[in-house]
A and B are shown apart, each in its own frame.
Chain A
Protein backbone atom coordinates (compact mmCIF):
# COMPACT_ATOMS: atom_id res chain seq x y z
CA UNK A 1 0.00 0.00 0.00
CA UNK A 2 1.01 3.59 -0.32
CA UNK A 3 0.14 7.16 0.39
CA UNK A 4 0.35 9.88 -2.23
CA UNK A 5 0.83 13.42 -1.03
CA UNK A 6 0.79 16.58 -3.09
CA UNK A 7 4.16 18.16 -3.70
CA UNK A 8 4.35 21.71 -2.34
CA UNK A 9 2.04 24.22 -3.99
CA UNK A 10 5.04 26.26 -5.17
CA UNK A 11 6.56 23.18 -6.81
CA UNK A 12 3.35 22.28 -8.64
CA UNK A 13 2.72 25.88 -9.75
CA UNK A 14 6.32 26.10 -11.01
CA UNK A 15 5.77 22.92 -13.06
CA UNK A 16 2.75 24.55 -14.70
CA UNK A 17 4.27 28.06 -14.79
CA UNK A 18 2.12 29.74 -17.44
CA UNK A 19 2.23 26.68 -19.70
CA UNK A 20 -0.76 24.82 -21.15
CA UNK A 21 -1.50 21.91 -18.84
CA UNK A 22 -3.45 18.66 -19.13
CA UNK A 23 -4.30 17.04 -15.80
CA UNK A 24 -4.61 13.33 -14.99
CA UNK A 25 -5.92 12.22 -11.61
CA UNK A 26 -5.69 8.56 -10.64
CA UNK A 27 -8.00 7.42 -7.89
CA UNK A 28 -6.92 3.84 -8.62
CA UNK A 29 -6.27 1.40 -5.86
CA UNK A 30 -8.86 1.72 -3.17
CA UNK A 31 -6.21 0.90 -0.56
CA UNK A 32 -4.43 4.09 -1.43
CA UNK A 33 -4.88 7.42 0.23
CA UNK A 34 -5.10 10.10 -2.45
CA UNK A 35 -5.42 13.77 -1.42
CA UNK A 36 -8.62 14.34 -3.43
CA UNK A 37 -9.77 17.53 -1.76
CA UNK A 38 -6.38 19.26 -1.82
CA UNK A 39 -5.81 18.21 -5.44
CA UNK A 40 -9.21 19.54 -6.51
CA UNK A 41 -8.57 22.88 -4.82
CA UNK A 42 -5.20 23.26 -6.45
CA UNK A 43 -6.51 22.26 -9.87
CA UNK A 44 -9.30 24.84 -9.56
CA UNK A 45 -6.62 27.45 -9.03
CA UNK A 46 -4.65 26.17 -12.05
CA UNK A 47 -7.81 26.30 -14.21
CA UNK A 48 -8.63 29.87 -13.19
CA UNK A 49 -6.08 31.38 -15.59
CA UNK A 50 -7.43 29.38 -18.54
CA UNK A 51 -4.28 27.33 -19.09
CA UNK A 52 -5.78 23.90 -18.42
CA UNK A 53 -6.60 22.23 -21.74
CA UNK A 54 -8.48 19.37 -20.10
CA UNK A 55 -8.46 16.93 -17.22
CA UNK A 56 -9.57 13.41 -16.40
CA UNK A 57 -10.07 11.52 -13.20
CA UNK A 58 -9.70 7.81 -13.66
CA UNK A 59 -8.30 4.70 -12.04
CA UNK A 60 -5.46 2.20 -12.57
CA UNK A 61 -3.39 4.29 -14.98
CA UNK A 62 -0.57 1.90 -14.07
CA UNK A 63 -2.22 -0.53 -16.49
CA UNK A 64 -0.98 0.59 -19.95
CA UNK A 65 -4.00 -0.86 -21.81
CA UNK A 66 -6.41 0.86 -19.46
CA UNK A 67 -4.44 4.11 -19.69
CA UNK A 68 -4.56 4.05 -23.49
CA UNK A 69 -8.34 3.60 -23.48
CA UNK A 70 -8.81 6.44 -21.01
CA UNK A 71 -6.57 8.90 -22.87
CA UNK A 72 -7.80 8.09 -26.40
CA UNK A 73 -10.69 10.57 -26.31
CA UNK A 74 -8.51 13.32 -24.87
CA UNK A 75 -5.61 13.27 -27.29
CA UNK A 76 -6.44 16.65 -28.84
CA UNK A 77 -6.48 18.25 -25.38
CA UNK A 78 -3.23 16.48 -24.53
CA UNK A 79 -1.62 17.58 -27.79
CA UNK A 80 -2.64 21.15 -27.05
CA UNK A 81 -0.84 21.04 -23.68
CA UNK A 82 2.86 21.70 -23.01
CA UNK A 83 2.85 19.68 -19.81
CA UNK A 84 0.86 16.69 -18.59
CA UNK A 85 0.55 16.95 -14.83
CA UNK A 86 -0.12 13.58 -13.19
CA UNK A 87 -1.62 13.24 -9.72
CA UNK A 88 -0.83 9.61 -8.92
CA UNK A 89 1.79 7.31 -7.45
CA UNK A 90 5.18 6.94 -9.14
CA UNK A 91 4.13 3.94 -11.22
CA UNK A 92 1.26 5.95 -12.75
CA UNK A 93 3.55 8.84 -13.73
CA UNK A 94 6.05 6.46 -15.35
CA UNK A 95 3.32 4.67 -17.31
CA UNK A 96 1.96 7.99 -18.62
CA UNK A 97 5.49 9.24 -19.47
CA UNK A 98 6.21 6.09 -21.45
CA UNK A 99 2.89 6.26 -23.33
CA UNK A 100 3.23 9.98 -24.14
CA UNK A 101 6.91 9.61 -24.98
CA UNK A 102 7.46 13.00 -26.62
CA UNK A 103 5.47 14.97 -24.03
CA UNK A 104 6.74 16.53 -20.84
CA UNK A 105 5.05 14.51 -18.10
CA UNK A 106 5.34 15.73 -14.51
CA UNK A 107 4.62 14.20 -11.12
CA UNK A 108 2.48 16.39 -8.87
CA UNK A 109 2.69 13.94 -5.97
CA UNK A 110 5.28 12.21 -3.82
CA UNK A 111 4.71 8.55 -3.00
CA UNK A 112 5.27 7.12 0.47
CA UNK A 113 5.35 3.48 1.44
CA UNK A 114 2.85 1.65 3.58
CA UNK A 115 3.07 -2.10 4.17
CA UNK A 116 1.02 -4.19 1.78
CA UNK A 117 0.03 -4.41 -1.85
CA UNK A 118 0.47 -1.66 -4.48
CA UNK A 119 -2.32 -1.45 -7.04
CA UNK A 120 -2.00 -3.55 -10.17
CA UNK A 121 1.62 -2.61 -10.77
CA UNK A 122 2.79 -3.94 -14.12
CA UNK A 123 6.29 -5.33 -13.94
CA UNK A 124 7.77 -2.84 -16.44
CA UNK A 125 7.65 0.01 -13.94
CA UNK A 126 8.43 0.11 -10.31
CA UNK A 127 8.00 2.81 -7.69
CA UNK A 128 10.38 2.73 -4.74
CA UNK A 129 7.78 4.68 -2.72
CA UNK A 130 10.71 6.60 -1.30
CA UNK A 131 8.92 9.86 -0.56
CA UNK A 132 10.65 12.66 -2.45
CA UNK A 133 9.95 11.77 -6.09
CA UNK A 134 12.67 12.44 -8.71
CA UNK A 135 10.55 11.82 -11.83
CA UNK A 136 10.42 15.53 -12.71
CA UNK A 137 14.22 15.62 -12.99
CA UNK A 138 14.47 12.44 -15.06
CA UNK A 139 11.88 12.68 -17.81
CA UNK A 140 9.45 10.36 -16.00
CA UNK A 141 11.86 7.40 -15.72
CA UNK A 142 12.57 6.47 -12.11
CA UNK A 143 16.31 6.58 -11.31
CA UNK A 144 15.77 4.71 -8.05
CA UNK A 145 14.31 1.61 -9.69
CA UNK A 146 15.74 1.83 -13.25
CA UNK A 147 19.39 2.25 -12.12
CA UNK A 148 20.97 -0.68 -10.30
CA UNK A 149 22.82 1.75 -8.04
CA UNK A 150 19.77 4.05 -7.65
CA UNK A 151 21.93 7.01 -8.66
CA UNK A 152 20.21 10.40 -8.76
CA UNK A 153 22.94 12.63 -10.24
CA UNK A 154 23.53 10.94 -13.59
CA UNK A 155 25.02 7.75 -14.99
CA UNK A 156 28.09 5.98 -13.61
CA UNK A 157 30.94 4.88 -15.86
CA UNK A 158 29.80 1.28 -15.88
CA UNK A 159 27.44 1.03 -18.84
CA UNK A 160 28.68 -0.77 -21.95
CA UNK A 161 26.78 -0.62 -25.24
CA UNK A 162 23.89 0.92 -23.34
CA UNK A 163 23.65 -1.99 -20.90
CA UNK A 164 24.14 -2.00 -17.11
CA UNK A 165 27.42 -3.34 -15.64
CA UNK A 166 25.43 -5.56 -13.31
CA UNK A 167 23.10 -7.13 -15.87
CA UNK A 168 23.88 -7.27 -19.58
CA UNK A 169 20.15 -7.73 -20.30
CA UNK A 170 19.22 -4.52 -18.50
CA UNK A 171 19.33 -1.13 -20.23
CA UNK A 172 21.32 1.54 -18.38
CA UNK A 173 18.60 3.54 -16.61
CA UNK A 174 20.49 6.82 -16.98
CA UNK A 175 21.03 6.33 -20.68
CA UNK A 176 17.26 5.84 -20.99
CA UNK A 177 16.75 9.01 -18.94
CA UNK A 178 19.22 10.94 -21.12
CA UNK A 179 17.52 9.81 -24.35
CA UNK A 180 14.06 10.67 -23.00
CA UNK A 181 15.18 14.14 -21.87
CA UNK A 182 16.72 14.64 -25.30
CA UNK A 183 13.44 13.61 -26.93
CA UNK A 184 11.30 16.02 -24.90
CA UNK A 185 13.88 18.81 -25.26
CA UNK A 186 14.63 18.97 -21.55
CA UNK A 187 18.36 18.17 -21.24
CA UNK A 188 18.52 21.40 -19.22
CA UNK A 189 17.15 19.60 -16.14
CA UNK A 190 20.49 17.76 -15.91
CA UNK A 191 21.96 21.08 -14.81
CA UNK A 192 19.86 20.98 -11.62
CA UNK A 193 21.61 21.30 -8.24
CA UNK A 194 23.34 18.23 -6.75
CA UNK A 195 20.67 15.87 -5.41
CA UNK A 196 21.08 14.06 -2.10
CA UNK A 197 18.56 11.46 -1.03
CA UNK A 198 16.60 11.84 2.17
CA UNK A 199 16.15 8.48 3.87
CA UNK A 200 14.34 10.04 6.83
CA UNK A 201 10.96 10.16 5.08
CA UNK A 202 9.26 7.85 7.58
CA UNK A 203 8.26 10.93 9.56
CA UNK A 204 6.15 12.22 6.66
CA UNK A 205 3.67 9.35 6.92
CA UNK A 206 3.13 9.63 10.68
Chain B
Protein backbone atom coordinates (compact mmCIF):
# COMPACT_ATOMS: atom_id res chain seq x y z
CA UNK B 1 0.00 0.00 0.00
CA UNK B 2 1.24 3.46 -0.91
CA UNK B 3 0.87 5.94 1.93
CA UNK B 4 0.00 8.63 -0.61
CA UNK B 5 -3.37 6.87 -1.05
CA UNK B 6 -4.09 7.54 2.63
CA UNK B 7 -3.12 11.21 2.38
CA UNK B 8 -5.44 11.48 -0.63
CA UNK B 9 -8.27 10.03 1.46
CA UNK B 10 -7.61 12.71 4.07
CA UNK B 11 -6.38 10.25 6.72
CA UNK B 12 -3.98 11.37 9.46
CA UNK B 13 -1.04 9.09 8.65
CA UNK B 14 1.01 7.66 11.51
CA UNK B 15 4.42 6.17 10.83
CA UNK B 16 7.23 5.05 13.10
CA UNK B 17 10.89 4.40 12.57
CA UNK B 18 12.97 1.30 13.20
CA UNK B 19 16.74 0.98 12.93
CA UNK B 20 18.15 -2.35 11.70
CA UNK B 21 20.61 -4.07 14.06
CA UNK B 22 24.38 -4.28 13.67
CA UNK B 23 24.29 -7.93 12.74
CA UNK B 24 22.35 -10.32 10.58
CA UNK B 25 19.62 -11.38 13.03
CA UNK B 26 16.30 -9.63 12.72
CA UNK B 27 13.99 -11.67 14.96
CA UNK B 28 14.10 -9.11 17.78
CA UNK B 29 13.25 -6.20 15.49
CA UNK B 30 10.36 -8.10 13.91
CA UNK B 31 8.97 -9.12 17.30
CA UNK B 32 9.07 -5.50 18.51
CA UNK B 33 7.49 -4.24 15.31
CA UNK B 34 4.68 -6.81 15.49
CA UNK B 35 4.04 -6.04 19.16
CA UNK B 36 4.24 -2.26 19.26
CA UNK B 37 3.72 -1.00 15.72
CA UNK B 38 0.38 -2.62 14.94
CA UNK B 39 -1.41 0.70 15.36
CA UNK B 40 0.99 2.44 13.00
CA UNK B 41 0.24 2.74 9.30
CA UNK B 42 3.78 2.49 7.97
CA UNK B 43 7.25 1.73 9.29
CA UNK B 44 10.35 3.63 8.14
CA UNK B 45 13.52 1.57 7.98
CA UNK B 46 16.63 3.70 8.34
CA UNK B 47 19.55 3.37 5.91
CA UNK B 48 22.77 3.01 7.91
CA UNK B 49 21.51 5.81 10.14
CA UNK B 50 24.07 8.35 11.37
CA UNK B 51 26.55 6.69 8.98
CA UNK B 52 26.81 3.67 11.30
CA UNK B 53 27.08 0.41 9.34
CA UNK B 54 24.16 -1.94 9.98
CA UNK B 55 21.91 -4.52 8.37
CA UNK B 56 20.47 -3.12 5.14
CA UNK B 57 17.28 -1.12 4.88
CA UNK B 58 16.04 -2.97 1.79
CA UNK B 59 16.32 -6.46 3.32
CA UNK B 60 14.70 -5.27 6.55
CA UNK B 61 11.84 -3.67 4.56
CA UNK B 62 11.20 -7.01 2.85
CA UNK B 63 11.16 -8.84 6.20
CA UNK B 64 8.61 -6.33 7.59
CA UNK B 65 6.50 -6.67 4.44
CA UNK B 66 6.43 -10.45 4.91
CA UNK B 67 5.05 -9.86 8.43
CA UNK B 68 2.17 -7.84 7.00
CA UNK B 69 3.56 -4.40 7.87
CA UNK B 70 3.93 -1.52 5.37
CA UNK B 71 7.58 -0.51 5.13
CA UNK B 72 9.01 2.83 4.01
CA UNK B 73 12.41 2.25 2.40
CA UNK B 74 14.83 5.00 3.45
CA UNK B 75 17.49 5.56 0.83
CA UNK B 76 20.47 7.89 1.22
CA UNK B 77 23.04 9.09 -1.31
CA UNK B 78 26.03 8.63 1.00
CA UNK B 79 26.98 5.05 0.14
CA UNK B 80 25.88 4.44 -3.43
CA UNK B 81 26.42 6.09 -6.78
CA UNK B 82 23.59 6.59 -9.26
CA UNK B 83 23.96 3.08 -10.68
CA UNK B 84 23.60 1.39 -7.28
CA UNK B 85 20.77 3.72 -6.20
CA UNK B 86 18.71 2.99 -9.31
CA UNK B 87 19.43 -0.72 -9.02
CA UNK B 88 18.24 -0.76 -5.39
CA UNK B 89 15.10 1.16 -6.41
CA UNK B 90 14.31 -1.49 -9.01
CA UNK B 91 15.01 -4.19 -6.41
CA UNK B 92 12.59 -2.49 -4.00
CA UNK B 93 9.87 -2.41 -6.66
CA UNK B 94 10.48 -6.08 -7.47
CA UNK B 95 10.11 -6.97 -3.76
CA UNK B 96 6.80 -5.09 -3.51
CA UNK B 97 8.12 -2.15 -1.49
CA UNK B 98 6.11 0.89 -2.54
CA UNK B 99 7.07 3.68 -0.13
CA UNK B 100 10.31 5.61 -0.22
CA UNK B 101 11.98 8.25 1.89
CA UNK B 102 14.77 9.85 -0.14
CA UNK B 103 17.59 11.62 1.68
CA UNK B 104 21.05 13.03 1.08
CA UNK B 105 22.37 11.25 4.19
CA UNK B 106 24.78 12.16 6.95
CA UNK B 107 28.44 12.55 6.06
CA UNK B 108 30.60 9.42 6.49
CA UNK B 109 32.68 11.28 9.07
CA UNK B 110 29.70 11.30 11.45
CA UNK B 111 29.61 7.52 11.85
CA UNK B 112 31.62 4.46 12.79
CA UNK B 113 33.58 4.26 9.52
CA UNK B 114 34.95 7.82 9.24
CA UNK B 115 37.62 6.56 6.81
CA UNK B 116 34.99 5.61 4.22
CA UNK B 117 34.61 7.45 0.93
CA UNK B 118 31.55 9.73 0.97
CA UNK B 119 29.74 9.18 -2.35
CA UNK B 120 27.05 11.88 -2.80
CA UNK B 121 27.02 11.28 -6.57
CA UNK B 122 23.35 12.33 -6.33
CA UNK B 123 21.62 14.23 -3.53
CA UNK B 124 18.08 14.21 -2.14
CA UNK B 125 16.75 16.43 -4.95
CA UNK B 126 18.41 14.62 -7.85
CA UNK B 127 17.43 11.27 -6.28
CA UNK B 128 13.76 12.33 -6.33
CA UNK B 129 14.26 13.39 -9.95
CA UNK B 130 15.79 9.97 -10.67
CA UNK B 131 12.86 8.05 -9.14
CA UNK B 132 10.50 10.17 -11.20
CA UNK B 133 12.45 9.24 -14.34
CA UNK B 134 12.38 5.53 -13.49
CA UNK B 135 8.62 5.82 -13.01
CA UNK B 136 8.41 7.15 -16.56
CA UNK B 137 10.23 4.06 -17.80
CA UNK B 138 13.65 5.62 -18.39
CA UNK B 139 16.84 5.54 -16.29
CA UNK B 140 19.20 8.43 -15.56
CA UNK B 141 21.40 7.40 -18.48
CA UNK B 142 18.45 7.82 -20.84
CA UNK B 143 17.96 4.07 -21.37
CA UNK B 144 14.53 2.48 -21.44
CA UNK B 145 13.46 0.04 -18.75
CA UNK B 146 12.04 -3.30 -19.79
CA UNK B 147 8.39 -3.87 -18.88
CA UNK B 148 6.01 -1.89 -16.67
CA UNK B 149 7.94 0.86 -14.82
CA UNK B 150 7.91 0.97 -10.99
CA UNK B 151 5.56 3.28 -9.07
CA UNK B 152 6.39 4.62 -5.63
CA UNK B 153 5.13 7.01 -2.98
CA UNK B 154 8.10 9.38 -2.84
CA UNK B 155 8.87 11.00 0.48
CA UNK B 156 11.52 13.50 1.54
CA UNK B 157 12.52 15.31 4.72
CA UNK B 158 12.51 18.93 5.83
CA UNK B 159 13.70 20.60 9.03
CA UNK B 160 11.00 23.02 10.27
CA UNK B 161 12.86 24.29 13.35
CA UNK B 162 16.15 24.83 11.52
CA UNK B 163 18.01 28.06 12.31
CA UNK B 164 18.12 28.71 8.55
CA UNK B 165 14.44 28.18 7.77
CA UNK B 166 14.44 30.28 4.60
CA UNK B 167 17.17 28.13 3.05
CA UNK B 168 15.31 24.97 4.18
CA UNK B 169 12.13 26.20 2.50
CA UNK B 170 14.08 26.91 -0.69
CA UNK B 171 15.36 23.34 -0.61
CA UNK B 172 11.84 22.05 0.11
CA UNK B 173 10.63 23.87 -2.98
CA UNK B 174 13.33 22.19 -5.09
CA UNK B 175 12.16 18.79 -3.79
CA UNK B 176 8.59 19.65 -4.73
CA UNK B 177 9.72 20.76 -8.19
CA UNK B 178 11.62 17.47 -8.57
CA UNK B 179 8.39 15.54 -7.94
CA UNK B 180 8.18 14.53 -4.28
CA UNK B 181 4.79 13.32 -2.95
CA UNK B 182 5.03 13.88 0.82
CA UNK B 183 7.33 15.11 3.60
CA UNK B 184 8.39 13.88 7.02
CA UNK B 185 10.03 16.42 9.31
CA UNK B 186 12.97 16.47 11.66
CA UNK B 187 11.88 16.09 15.29
CA UNK B 188 9.85 19.05 16.54
CA UNK B 189 9.93 20.27 20.17
CA UNK B 190 8.72 23.79 19.42
CA UNK B 191 5.11 23.58 18.13
CA UNK B 192 4.91 27.34 17.55
CA UNK B 193 7.88 27.15 15.13
CA UNK B 194 6.31 24.17 13.38
CA UNK B 195 3.00 26.00 12.96
CA UNK B 196 4.80 29.04 11.50
CA UNK B 197 6.70 26.72 9.17
CA UNK B 198 3.46 25.04 8.03
CA UNK B 199 1.95 28.44 7.21
CA UNK B 200 4.75 28.87 4.66
CA UNK B 201 4.97 25.22 3.58
CA UNK B 202 1.28 24.78 2.77
CA UNK B 203 1.79 26.74 -0.47
CA UNK B 204 3.53 23.62 -1.87
CA UNK B 205 0.37 21.54 -1.44
CA UNK B 206 2.18 18.41 -0.25
CA UNK B 207 1.24 16.39 2.86
CA UNK B 208 3.58 16.89 5.81
CA UNK B 209 4.04 14.45 8.70
CA UNK B 210 5.18 16.05 11.94
CA UNK B 211 8.37 14.36 13.18
CA UNK B 212 8.62 13.58 16.91
CA UNK B 213 11.24 12.02 19.16
CA UNK B 214 10.18 10.82 22.64
CA UNK B 215 12.68 12.51 24.98
CA UNK B 216 14.17 9.92 27.35
CA UNK B 217 15.97 12.23 29.78
CA UNK B 218 17.16 15.78 30.34
CA UNK B 219 20.64 14.61 29.33
CA UNK B 220 19.35 13.33 25.98
CA UNK B 221 17.54 16.63 25.39
CA UNK B 222 20.69 18.62 26.09
CA UNK B 223 22.74 16.31 23.88
CA UNK B 224 20.31 16.88 20.98
CA UNK B 225 20.45 20.63 21.54
CA UNK B 226 24.21 20.61 21.29
CA UNK B 227 24.68 18.05 18.54
CA UNK B 228 21.64 17.49 16.36
CA UNK B 229 20.90 19.93 13.56
CA UNK B 230 17.42 21.44 13.49
CA UNK B 231 16.46 20.28 17.01
CA UNK B 232 15.96 22.56 19.97
CA UNK B 233 14.36 21.29 23.19
CA UNK B 234 13.19 24.36 25.14
CA UNK B 235 14.46 24.88 28.70
CA UNK B 236 11.03 24.36 30.32
CA UNK B 237 10.81 20.87 28.74
CA UNK B 238 14.27 20.05 30.08
CA UNK B 239 13.09 21.19 33.53
CA UNK B 240 10.01 18.99 33.18
CA UNK B 241 12.24 15.99 32.40
CA UNK B 242 14.42 16.81 35.41
CA UNK B 243 11.54 17.27 37.87
CA UNK B 244 10.58 13.64 38.56
CA UNK B 245 13.46 11.33 37.61
CA UNK B 246 11.50 8.11 38.18
CA UNK B 247 8.59 9.28 36.05
CA UNK B 248 10.99 10.34 33.30
CA UNK B 249 12.89 7.05 33.50
CA UNK B 250 9.61 5.16 33.10
CA UNK B 251 8.98 7.12 29.91
CA UNK B 252 5.89 8.85 31.25
CA UNK B 253 7.24 12.43 31.11
CA UNK B 254 8.59 11.98 27.57
CA UNK B 255 5.34 10.45 26.40
CA UNK B 256 3.34 13.31 27.94
CA UNK B 257 5.55 15.94 26.29
CA UNK B 258 5.36 14.22 22.90
CA UNK B 259 1.58 13.73 23.10
CA UNK B 260 1.20 17.43 23.87
CA UNK B 261 3.33 18.40 20.85
CA UNK B 262 1.31 16.10 18.57
CA UNK B 263 -2.02 17.50 19.84
CA UNK B 264 -0.88 21.08 19.33
CA UNK B 265 0.44 20.50 15.81
CA UNK B 266 -2.19 18.03 14.56
CA UNK B 267 -4.59 20.64 13.08
CA UNK B 268 -1.76 21.99 10.92
CA UNK B 269 -0.33 18.77 9.40
CA UNK B 270 -1.35 15.55 7.68
CA UNK B 271 0.29 12.95 9.89
CA UNK B 272 2.92 12.17 12.47
CA UNK B 273 6.21 10.31 12.19
CA UNK B 274 7.52 8.84 15.45
CA UNK B 275 11.25 8.29 15.94
CA UNK B 276 11.23 6.24 19.15
CA UNK B 277 14.99 5.45 19.08
CA UNK B 278 14.61 2.15 20.95
CA UNK B 279 11.49 3.16 22.88
CA UNK B 280 9.10 1.50 20.42
CA UNK B 281 7.27 0.03 23.43
CA UNK B 282 6.07 3.55 24.34
CA UNK B 283 4.36 4.10 20.98
CA UNK B 284 0.93 2.52 21.72
CA UNK B 285 0.64 4.56 24.93
CA UNK B 286 1.73 7.70 23.12
CA UNK B 287 -0.87 7.29 20.39
CA UNK B 288 -3.56 6.76 23.00
CA UNK B 289 -2.50 9.81 25.00
CA UNK B 290 -2.37 11.94 21.83
CA UNK B 291 -5.86 10.78 20.92
CA UNK B 292 -4.93 9.16 17.62
Chain A residues with a Cβ under 8 A of chain B: 148-162, 165-166, 172, 174-175, 178, 187, 190-191, 193-197, 199
B159, closest chain A residue (CB): A157
Least CB distance, A186 to chain B, in whole angstroms: 12
Q: How far is the CA of A196 from the CA of B125 in the complex (A)?
A: 9
Total inter-chain residue pairs, C-beta < 8 Å: 91
Bound together, the chains give a CA A135 to CA B112 distance in angstroms of 34
Given A149-B104, A157-B230, does the pair A166, B110 have CB atoms closer than 8 Å?
yes
Q: A157-B157, A158-B106 are in contact. Are A194 and B129 (CB under 8 A)?
A: yes
Among B173-181, B236-244, B264-272, the stretch in contact with A? B173-181
From A151, A154, A155, A157, contact of B120 by CB (8 A): A151
Query: Which residues does chain B contribute within 8 Å of A199, judged by CB atoms?
Result: 121
**Are B107 and A178 within 8 A (Cβ)?**
no
Question: Which residues of A sit under 8 angstroms from B107, Cβ to Cβ?
Answer: 148-149, 158, 165-166
A69 to B107, CA, bound (A): 40
23 of the cross-chain contacts (CB-CB < 8 Å) are A148-B118, A149-B107, A149-B120, A153-B174, A154-B170, A156-B123, A157-B104, A157-B157, A157-B162, A157-B168, A158-B229, A159-B162, A160-B229, A160-B230, A165-B106, A174-B167, A178-B166, A190-B174, A191-B174, A191-B177, A193-B177, A196-B122, A199-B121
The 5 closest A-B pairs by CB, nearest first: A153-B125, A154-B171, A178-B167, A194-B129, A160-B229
* Beyond known contacts A196-B122, A196-B140: 10 more, CB 8 A cutoff: A151-B123, A153-B174, A157-B168, A157-B186, A157-B230, A158-B107, A165-B229, A166-B107, A172-B164, A178-B167
Chain B residue with Cβ nearest A174: B167
Known contacts A178-B166, A194-B129; is A156 also within 8 Å of B104 by CB? yes
Is chain A's interface secondary structure helix, strand, loop, or mixed overall?
A: loop
Pick the residue among A151, A161, A187, A194 that contacts B177 (CB under 8 A). A194
Residues of B at the A interface (CB closer than 8 Å) are 104, 106-107, 109-110, 118, 120-126, 128-129, 140, 157-159, 162-164, 166-168, 170-171, 173-174, 177-178, 186, 227-230
Q: Is the CB of A194 within 8 A of B174?
A: yes
Q: CA of A155 to CA of B125 in the docked complex: distance in angstroms?
A: 10
Q: In the assembled complex, how far is the CB of residue A149 from the closest CB belonging to chain B, in whole angstroms?
A: 5
Q: How far is the CA of A119 from the CA of B164 in the complex (A)?
A: 36
> Taking the nearest CB of chain A, how far is it from the CB of B48, in angstroms?
15
B159 adjacent to A194 (CB under 8 Å): no
Cα separation A153 to B163 with both chains bound (whole Å): 19
Q: Are A190 and B125 in contact (CB under 8 A)?
A: no
For the complex formed, measure the closest distance between the CB of A9 and the CB atoms of chain B, giving whole angstroms: 25
Query: Closest residue to A149 on the B side, CB-wise?
Result: B120
Q: Which residues of A contact B168 (CB under 8 A)?
A: 155, 157
A187 touches B170 (CB 8 A): yes
Cα(A159)–Cα(B107), bound, Å: 11
Task: Specify which chain B residues have a CB less than 8 angstroms from the CB of A194 in the assembled complex.
Answer: 125-126, 128-129, 174, 177-178
Instruction: Give chain A nearest CB distance to B44 CB in angstroms.
Output: 15
Indicate if the CB atoms of B186 and A166 lie closer than 8 Å.
no
Closest Cβ of chain A: how far from B133's Cβ, in Å?
Answer: 10
- Indicate if the CB atoms of B124 and A156 lie closer than 8 Å: yes
Q: Which residue of A lies closest to B125 (CB)?
A: A153
Contacts of B229 in A (CB 8 A): 157-160, 165
* A151, closest chain B residue (CB): B123
| Least Cβ–Cβ distance between A15 and chain B, in angstroms | 22
| A178 vs B128: C-alpha distance when bound (angstroms) | 22
Of the residues B110, B126, B164, B230, contact of A162 by C-beta under 8 Å: B164
Q: Are B164 and A175 in contact (CB under 8 A)?
A: yes
Measured in the bound complex, the distance between the Cα atoms of B140 and A51 in whole Å is 40
How many Å from the CB of A169 to the closest CB on chain B?
A: 13
